[in-house]
A = this chain, B = another copy of it.
Amino acid sequence: MKKNIFYAQSGGVTAVINASACGVIETARKHRNKLGKVYAGRNGILGALTEDMIDTTAESAKTIAALRHTPGGAFGSARYKLKGLEQNRAEYERLIEVFKAHDIGYFFYNGGGDSMDTAYKVSQLGQELGYPVVCIGVPKTVDNDLPVTDTCPGFGSVAKYVAVSTREAALDVASMARTSTRVFILEVMGRHAGWIAAAAGLAGETPGDAPHVILFPEIPFDETTFLARVKDAVTRYEYCVVVVSEGAKYADGRFLAEAGTTDAFGHAQLGGVAATVAQLVKSKLGFKYHYAIADYLQRAARHIASKVDVEQAYAMGKAAVLLALAGENAVMPTIVRKSGAPYRWTVGKVALSRVANKEKMMPRSFITKDGFGITAGCRSYLAPLIQGEDYPPYKNGLPSYVSLKNQRVARRLSTNFVLK
């Protein structure tokens, strides 16, 4: 009997996570002889826990194809981390119960390190409970912090957005500097690793080009050195562009912008580091500033997505299905770099146990000695990831993004599950 597939989106969404969904669904539809229906979790894993699943067979081929150019999470995502098996075994048992009730034999989990851990545990528990489920991770995170894979779908597009925006804003402030704004600050995402901030470095190609200062989470913030650097840039070029990671920290580990609140995972909610840096520049150097906070705009900016990123996101979804068909289990497809220039890549795989809950930090060798820029090695790594444009179709001057019906799969269980 053909088993159904359960696909869920997890964590912060990206400009291309739906391209992975598109890859999963289109590939599954091509193998109808071996695979059942693709169900998607409404709001990610919650859709399985609460038996609120979406029947993707209700969507036309045209609609599914349009997912490739639609940002956000088309089925809803969730910031919901399953606890350890010992702490909340009930959640895992519930997943298996729902999977069993709906003849689900495959679980494709589209997320980052936390989600790979969940998928791994589900694969273990399914075995133990006598209902084996093929669990395949589909990599996704703008943070680029999954190990083994060359990059993570979602990152290339944020990188491109940040590099393009930095280059454009730099032209603006350079025009204004003589009589107005001297320092422009762009705040970008990246809580632990400076990958996104590093991407801004691609905007500059010759000495003197913006950004003049990048503040990485990896480098403890030193006020004196920073201010000296800003002053130097203004003296040399009349203006200074600073790109600051939301995760920039003091030497003692405090974030420059600590909002005092925490999210579902217990991580501090950040935001507003740009304002902190701007105030510092104004009060200590007296320069007029402007600052921008890209926030969700950066990870939703499908209009300027990287073509390489879109292709990789699709390829990861497709590969997940092919791996399952090939009899693999508890693995995640990866992007393997065959060469840098020209960029050639292929699809590989890694055991979920090797990527679960692991973070890939940016190598220190990617940051210049002074801590404020990127090295040639970093540039060589990043440059291929932003190659190519993959414009969405437009209607009335706006991108034509698709909305799904998101039709519910009829419930088969009488039990409710209360989320903790």
Contacts and interface: CB of A to CB of B under 8 A. Distances in A.
B300 A297 contact: no
A174 B79 contact: no
A396 interface: yes
A172 interface: yes
- The bracket for how many chain A residues form the interface is 35 or more
Contacts of A299: 172
B397 A180 contact: no
Given A46-B179, A176-B79, A383-B397, A168 B388 contact: no
A169 interface: yes
Interface stretch (A115-123, A130-138, A226-234, A259-267): A259-267
Contacts of A175: 9, 13, 72-74, 76-77
Interface stretch (A27-35, A285-293, A363-371): A285-293
B297 A295 contact: no
Nearest to A299: B172
A13 B259 CA distance: 33
Interface in A251-277: 259-261, 263-265, 269-272, 274-276
A264 B179 contact: yes
A176 to B, nearest CB: 6
A396 B264 CA distance: 39
A37 to B, nearest CB: 22
Nearest to A187: B293
A103 interface: no
Given A172-B296, A291-B293, A297-B294, A397 B265 contact: no
B296 A271 contact: no
Nearest to A45: B179
Contacts of A15: 168
A165 interface: yes
Contact of A291 (B164, B271, B282): B271
Contacts of A275: 270-272, 275
Contacts of A172: 13, 71-73, 296, 299-300
A420 interface: no
Nearest to A171: B72
Contacts of A71: 168, 171-172
Top-10 shortest CB links A-B? A72-B171, A73-B175, A292-B295, A386-B397, A270-B275, A271-B275, A168-B300, A43-B178, A172-B300, A260-B264
22 contacts: A13-B175, A70-B171, A71-B171, A72-B170, A72-B174, A73-B176, A76-B175, A76-B177, A164-B303, A167-B401, A168-B303, A172-B296, A186-B297, A202-B398, A261-B282, A269-B288, A270-B276, A270-B279, A271-B274, A274-B293, A275-B275, A388-B397
Given A13-B175, A76-B178, 17 more contacts: A71-B171, A71-B172, A78-B179, A165-B300, A167-B401, A168-B297, A168-B300, A169-B296, A171-B401, A172-B299, A180-B264, A270-B275, A270-B276, A270-B279, A271-B275, A303-B304, A389-B391
